[in-house]
Amino acid sequence: MIVNNRYLALTLLSPVACSFAKGAEAPERNDGTAERSLPNVILIYADDLGYGDLECYGARNVHTPNVNRLASEGIRFTNAHATASTSTPSRYSLLTGEYAWRRPGTDVAPGDAGMIIRPEQYTMADMFKSAGYATAAVGKWHLGLGDRTGEQDWNAPLPAALGDLGFDYHYIMAATADRVPCVFIENGMVANYDPSAPIEVSYRENFPGEPTGKDNPELLYNLKPSHGHDMSIVNGISRIGYMKGGGKALWKDENIADSITVHAVDFISGHKDEPFFLYFATNDVHVPRFPHERFRGKNRMGLRGDAIVQFDWSVGRIMAALDSLGLTDNTLIILSSDNGPVVDDGYDDRAEELLGGHRPSGPWRGYKYSAFEGGTAIPVIVRWPEMIRKAAESDVLMSQIDWLASLAGLVGARIPEGAAPDSWNRLGNLLGTDMSDRPWIVGFSSSHALSLRAGDWKYIEPNDGSPMITWGPEIETGNSSEPQLYDVSDRQEQENLATEYPEKVFEFQTLLRQVRKAFPDPNR
Ligand code: NG6
Ligand code: CA
């Protein structure tokens, strides 16, 4: 008999067997008798990494050997989607299993946003904890901290942080690298806090005497903005928002990947003897792109390419740690991104001019922010050698909204009534045993346009916003005051077929009305 609670007997009575036992969703190796340990789960969540940005997805001018290896040992998905085309709503949906557009206040968050997921909400981390996992979040957070926007005291323990959301441990950036405060938060406190340099943060006004990118461009020795990003200067780079102090706690952009990777690896080795869940959300390849010197000049695309190489390095370190601890076989890694790519996102890093034929969105139309597929079509690679025995490709239509319930199905966690209302258990899709498309998936653009994909059809609801982003990058929003209907089998979204197929448009509009109300997992 197995006594260690890490082990779980897949008998017909176990919750895992129950969730596996649903016909097509049963993983191949479940014969109803095998004893298997709960897998570790690592979610590697890149920032603004496009469908076309990895070598194994056809990237040009950049090598990503570690991610290539991951893909060659697992499943590479070619039709998977984030829930939104920007970070905060996408992460909110991923971690709560609720569409962000149901909740006001889930747009791209400033660095002083109060914690957007409230302590009483159920999260993916709560789910893993309830199944006995050790849990951690390392890297980019961007979902607010503390009780109320703008009222945090960054010099004291924060009254609300990730410990209230089911994470046993966290080492995070409050928002993004281009937003103050430019410090790491470890377990609700500024890491390496420097009492000689108390921290003040404001998104309203500067602190007297502090330089800004706008007034002191001569101090921007590392990167200059191309649009916005002209407020406080930290490490020779101007940011969004104002901050003062920080001293030795301030990050150096060139060390961010090293810092978070080291903390992620430490967490893995510290929990090698029990099941763990690690949410590893990288800063790469978000702006400001300022990777460590050792990644510079490795390809022709300049800093954006170097940031992809640095991301690949982080992935390699995680894989090497698993290898050396003997954890590779029974660790499920899901690698993905929070939204589609962007080239010039506000810093003068020459990303646009150095593309050299590289297409960050791959074949899809549109980029980050957009309602077109490029806004949410992202890379997804799933590796779990214990269960996924053959490398494969999957073109199944998949959305990150389902990962919470699917992983709950995997570990036998029971989702409380009313929690994760939009997340469906589609574990078989993730593990490659169920190749049936989700009947439909919802997208959400930065202009708040909802879209629906079903099979090869894509519907974008009418939106009065501008067809191009008006405040910075030259990006199509996908907005149109007319309903849009595309056949995306060629991935182009060029020809609006709405007037030719009015009944299809009607069908989508009806479905969208139902989804807006609620559309829980029909099998839950
Ligand atoms: C935009 C920023 C952009 C990026 C984005 C959020 C400007 C001009 N642009 O407002 O640089 O930070 O917000 O990106 O400020 S996300 O990936 O975190 O959603
Ligand atoms: Ca992002």
Q: What angle do CA 319, 322, 328 make, to 5 degrees?
A: 95
User: Which residue among 141, 178, 238 has the greatest number of ligand 1 atoms within 8 angstroms of its CB, and so is best to mutate?
Assistant: 178
pLDDT for 297 equals 82
* Ligand 1 center from residue 378 Cα (angstroms): 18
* Ligand 2 center from residue 348 Cα (angstroms): 18
pLDDT for 33 equals 38
pLDDT for 518 equals 97
The DSSP result for 390-443, as a single string, is: S-EEE---EEGGGHHHHHHHHHTPPPPTTSSTT----HHHHHTS--PPPS-EEE
Q: Which atom of ligand 1 is nearest to the CA of 225?
A: 8
pLDDT for 286 equals 98
Q: Which atom of ligand 1 is nearest to the CA of 176?
A: 18
pLDDT for 12 equals 26
* Ligand 1 center from residue 25 Cα (angstroms): 38
* Ligand 2 center from residue 147 Cα (angstroms): 24
pLDDT for 36 equals 61
* Ligand 1 center from residue 91 Cα (angstroms): 14
DSSP for residue 508 = H
> Nearest-CA neighbor of 426 among 519, 523, 332?
523
- Which amino acid makes up residue 281? A
* Ligand 1 center from residue 470 Cα (angstroms): 13
Identify the three-state secondary structure at position 63.
coil
Please tell me the residue having the least CA distance from ligand 1 atom 11.
345
> Nearest-CA neighbor of 458 among 425, 495, 403, 423?
495
pLDDT for 23 equals 32
pLDDT for 291 equals 98
Q: Which atom of ligand 1 is nearest to the CA of 345?
A: 11
Asked if residues 408 and 415 have their Cβ atoms less than 8 Å apart, the reply is yes
**Which structure tokens are listed for 173?**
């950036």
Across the strands, what pairs with 443? Answer: 451
Distance of CA 126 to the CA centre of its chain: 18
Asked if residues 53 and 308 have their Cβ atoms less than 8 Å apart, the reply is yes
Handedness of CA 459, 517, 379, 286 (dihedral sign): positive
Please tell me the residue having the least CA distance from ligand 1 atom 17.
87
pLDDT for 35 equals 52
Please tell me the residue having the least CA distance from ligand 1 atom 4.
345
Q: What is the rounded CA–CA span in Å between residue 524 and residue 519?
A: 11
pLDDT for 524 equals 85
Domains and CATH numbers, the chain: 5-19+41-195+250-435 (3.40.720.10)
Binned average pLDDT, 10 residues per bin, the chain of 524 residues:
33 34 38 66 99 97 98 98 98 99 98 98 98 98 98 98 98 98 98 98 98 98 98 98 98 98 98 98 98 91 98 99 98 99 98 98 98 98 97 98 98 98 98 98 98 98 97 95 97 96 98 98 92
pLDDT for 9 equals 31
Q: What angle do CA 153, 156, 158 make, to 5 degrees?
A: 70
Please tell me the residue having the least CA distance from ligand 1 atom 15.
228
pLDDT for 298 equals 72
Ligand 1 site residues, Cβ closer than 6 angstroms: 47-48, 86-87, 108, 142, 176, 178, 227-229, 240, 286-287, 339, 345-346, 472
> Nearest-CA neighbor of 139 among 111, 177, 192, 106?
177
Q: What angle do CA 472, 93, 152 make, to 5 degrees?
A: 70
**Residue that has been written with the tokens 């002191």 in this structure:** 216
* Ligand 1 center from residue 463 Cα (angstroms): 21
The CA-to-CA distance between both ends of the chain, in Å, stands at 32
* Ligand (nearest to CA of 339): 2
Q: What is the rounded CA–CA span in Å between residue 191 and residue 202?
A: 20
Query: Which CA distances in Å does 493 have to 155, 373, 378, 430?
Result: 49, 8, 16, 26
Identify the three-state secondary structure at position 301.
coil
User: Which residue among 176, 253, 447, 470 has the greatest number of ligand 1 atoms within 8 angstroms of its CB, and so is best to mutate?
Assistant: 176
Q: Which atom of ligand 1 is nearest to the CA of 88?
A: 19
Please tell me the residue having the least CA distance from ligand 1 atom 16.
87
Residues 6+ apart with CB under 8 A from 507: none
Query: Which CA distances in Å does 111 have to 125, 171, 240, 306?
Result: 22, 15, 9, 26
**Residue that has been written with the tokens 């009015």 in this structure:** 502
Q: What is the rounded CA–CA span in Å between residue 417 and residue 430?
A: 24
How many other C-beta atoms lie within 10 A of the C-beta of residue 514? 10
User: Which residue among 45, 87, 182, 304 has the greatest number of ligand 1 atoms within 8 angstroms of its CB, and so is best to mutate?
Assistant: 87
